[in-house]
Structure 1
Amino acid sequence: MNNYLKLFIFSAVVVGAYFALLASGFGQYIHSTAIAAIIFYSLQSLLLLWAESNFVNNDGQNFVLFVIGSISFRLLTSLLVAITYLVAIGEENTSFIMTFFALYLLFLGFELFTLMTNLRSNSKSVQIDG
């Protein structure tokens, strides 16, 4: 299955879970900016999938560097957005932090899952000398 389609399905499932939590009464634990955070992480994942498809060769070393770089990119941009939001609001907002970084972990898990499936397909094509 195409990674872009996987991202669309995953994002749709996360949005569905968001609305299910709102309908079930757990909406008080979710910050009002959750949809914006889902869009942010979806666009971030889209950018990383595009970069992977255009810049990563079948070279294993290049792929490992890309994985480390993509995780670092996701972490740094997430911290930048979260700190900017918290400074702009100027108040302690625990629900924002919990929601934002729960979504961070969900999308990081998705990214690692898709990258590892590509790593497995790349490692199968490598011949082991021995």
Structure 2
Amino acid sequence: MKNAYLKILIYTIVLAIATKIAATIFLLAISTIAWASLAFYSLLTMGIHAIVSPSLQSKKQQFIVVFMGTLGIRMFFSIAFLLLYLFFSSKIEISFILYYLLGYLFFVGFEIYLLLSNLRPDLKKGINKE
């Protein structure tokens, strides 16, 4: 599991560097809240991975229920973060909202990649077949 946290941290750093490079090339100003959203998604992914990872060892049906539940939890917290931004921000930036939604997609895709990479060795061994 510590290996997964390291991968999430590296992925976050790569996204931060890519964001900084894109902002420099296209002369965009990245707001503080955009960097906060990157940290938010990183911590949220770590927390959700801590919930889902133990269910990989159980039956497939339980894993699917836990995984779908955590997708709902992620969606709830993501919408709550965005609503807080919209409520408290005096200036609503469309660029931040697009960055935020792309961050959501990138981190959900990365979480699915992490889970599939954990399932691959079990598939090759024939473990957890029902």
The alignment's C-alpha RMSD in Å is 2.2
- Provide the C-alpha distance between the structure 2 equivalents of 1:47 and 1:112, rounded to a whole number of angstroms: 14
- The aligned residue for residue 105 of structure 2 is 105
TM-score by length of 2: 0.83
- The aligned residue for residue 13 of structure 2 is 12
User: What number of residue pairs does the alignment pair up?
Assistant: 127
- Provide the C-alpha distance between the structure 1 equivalents of 2:24 and 2:93, rounded to a whole number of angstroms: 22
**Runs of 5+ consecutive residues of structure 1 not aligned to the other structure:** none
- The aligned residue for residue 68 of structure 1 is 68
2:93 maps to a residue whose letter is N
- Provide the C-alpha distance between the structure 1 equivalents of 2:32 and 2:3, rounded to a whole number of angstroms: 31
Residues 68-117 of structure 1 show CA distances to partners (whole Å, capped at 9, x for unaligned) of 01111111110011011101125543122111111111101101111222
- The aligned residue for residue 117 of structure 1 is 117
- The aligned residue for residue 80 of structure 1 is 80
Q: Could you tell me how far 1:126 is from its partner in structure 2? A: 2.7
Query: How does 1:25-36 map onto structure 2 within 5 Å?
Result: 25-28=26-29, 30-36=30-36
Q: Report which structure shows greater RCO (CA 8 Å, sep ≥6).
A: 1
Contact 1:58/1:122 (<8 A) preserved: no
Contact 2:5/2:46 (<8 A) preserved: yes
Contact 2:38/2:103 (<8 A) preserved: yes
**Runs of 5+ consecutive residues of structure 2 not aligned to the other structure:** none
Identity %: 28
- Provide the C-alpha distance between the structure 1 equivalents of 2:19 and 2:119, rounded to a whole number of angstroms: 31
Q: Secondary structure at the match of 1:81?
A: helix
